Chains A and B, each alone.
Chain A
């Protein structure tokens, strides 16, 4: 699983650095940023496969990051991990295309399971699009991509 490009976005530095270390011990390396602004910059230069995103952050909050990344990089699978989980937040995140919505605190293996599922989804999407594009079916390929938006 070391090949997953995973981006962790959370302003709780102790939490997210420890999480990254634990994921590394499970053979999943990750990039870590502590703000919405840094997350958007990172996505521009090094698109991740999967992003774990906190909602409440100073500056650009997680919901806005979710909205912008889904628009600019629809293939990125985004998992919300928040300590402030209202039903309305969850509903909005899912509408915006979040792959999954977790509340803190969370068991590391449960989170890792979701990351693997999200990565699998990303690979499957890419394969479908590639197959369709190879067959010249750009319209369907476009539709698949748009569905991800």
Chain B
């Protein structure tokens, strides 16, 4: 845990600096844009006597691209900051919906590489797990990687003779991995990770592998079309 906290502190400091870098780039690009506008206004005021900058439109396009990338960087920076603070102590619990949202935003590379789409299904309500964000994210990430690999990168899985759940799903459906947060009356909250291309056998193997020999803050089981990670509900009396 000491190493995790160290990584968190370093990543938090880096994300802070990154935001400052982005802010400086954004303002510098903005200032260029301001001067471009000024030059255009002066050209108009002098009725063209002072000629307009030849590459005005090109520059504006480029500045627009810079702004798009700054926005993208800012988004990543915010997610990185949340991730960096995930090992912090004194957390009342972890909102599973928010944790899934964060994981989805940080998993752009994985989804691109494996040609899958990640979706968070809103099931209404807030489901708070009695586990630090870092633990929830670690479990969700392991499950996601397992599902991605078991789904064969979105390829159609051949029907199996024992009525495997993957039978007959289309390639597009097979590329969608859905996260469904929920909870029960017994004091547990959970996230179902579902993929139509995930067969029953693969789901069982994945659930077993997720729990392994270690005791963690969650249990893993099989649900129709996927696996379920269950956590103790935050605030529950022992």
Taking Cβ atoms with an 8 Å cutoff, the residues of A that contact B are 12, 14-15, 18-19, 21-22, 25, 56, 83-86, 103-106, 108
The answer to whether the Cβ of B34 comes within 8 Å of any Cβ in the partner chain is yes
* Complex A-B: 30 CB contacts under 8 Å: A12-B23, A12-B24, A14-B24, A14-B28, A15-B20, A15-B24, A15-B27, A18-B24, A18-B28, A18-B31, A19-B27, A21-B31, A22-B27, A22-B30, A22-B31, A83-B16, A83-B18, A83-B22, A83-B77, A84-B12, A84-B81, A86-B81, A86-B85, A104-B19, A104-B23, A105-B19, A105-B23, A105-B74, A106-B23, A106-B26
CA–CA, A12 and B19, complex, Å = 11
B233 to chain A, nearest CB (A): 22
B94 to chain A, nearest CB (A): 14
The size class of the interface chain B forms with chain A is 20 to 34
Taking Cβ atoms with an 8 Å cutoff, the residues of B that contact A are 12, 15-20, 22-28, 30-31, 34, 38, 70, 74, 77-78, 81, 85
Output the nearest chain B residue to A11 by Cβ-Cβ distance: B20
Are B38 and A83 in contact, CB atoms less than 8 angstroms apart? no
Output the nearest chain B residue to A54 by Cβ-Cβ distance: B20
**Are A84 and B16 CB-contacts (below 8 A) given A18-B31, A22-B31?**
yes
**Chain B residues near A84 (CB, 8 Å)?**
12, 15-16, 19, 81
CA–CA, A105 and B85, complex, Å = 20
Are B34 and A25 in contact, CB atoms less than 8 angstroms apart? yes
Are B81 and A85 in contact, CB atoms less than 8 angstroms apart? yes
Are B85 and A108 in contact, CB atoms less than 8 angstroms apart? no
**Chain A residues near B78 (CB, 8 Å)?**
103
Are A108 and B20 in contact, CB atoms less than 8 angstroms apart? no
For the complex of A and B, the 9 pairs showing the least CB-CB separation, nearest first, are A83-B19, A104-B23, A84-B16, A105-B23, A105-B26, A18-B27, A15-B24, A83-B20, A105-B22
Apart from A83-B22, A106-B26, 18 more pairs, CB < 8 Å: A12-B20, A12-B24, A15-B23, A19-B27, A83-B18, A84-B15, A84-B16, A84-B19, A84-B81, A85-B81, A86-B81, A86-B85, A103-B78, A105-B26, A105-B27, A105-B70, A105-B74, A108-B27
Output the nearest chain A residue to B22 by Cβ-Cβ distance: A105
B188 to chain A, nearest CB (A): 26
Output the nearest chain A residue to B28 by Cβ-Cβ distance: A18
**Chain A residues near B26 (CB, 8 Å)?**
105-106
Output the nearest chain B residue to A20 by Cβ-Cβ distance: B27
Are A108 and B30 in contact, CB atoms less than 8 angstroms apart? yes
**Chain A residues near B31 (CB, 8 Å)?**
18, 21-22
Output the nearest chain B residue to A26 by Cβ-Cβ distance: B34
Output the nearest chain B residue to A10 by Cβ-Cβ distance: B20
A91 to chain B, nearest CB (A): 13
**Chain A residues near B20 (CB, 8 Å)?**
12, 15, 83, 104
CA–CA, A103 and B19, complex, Å = 9
Are B12 and A83 in contact, CB atoms less than 8 angstroms apart? no
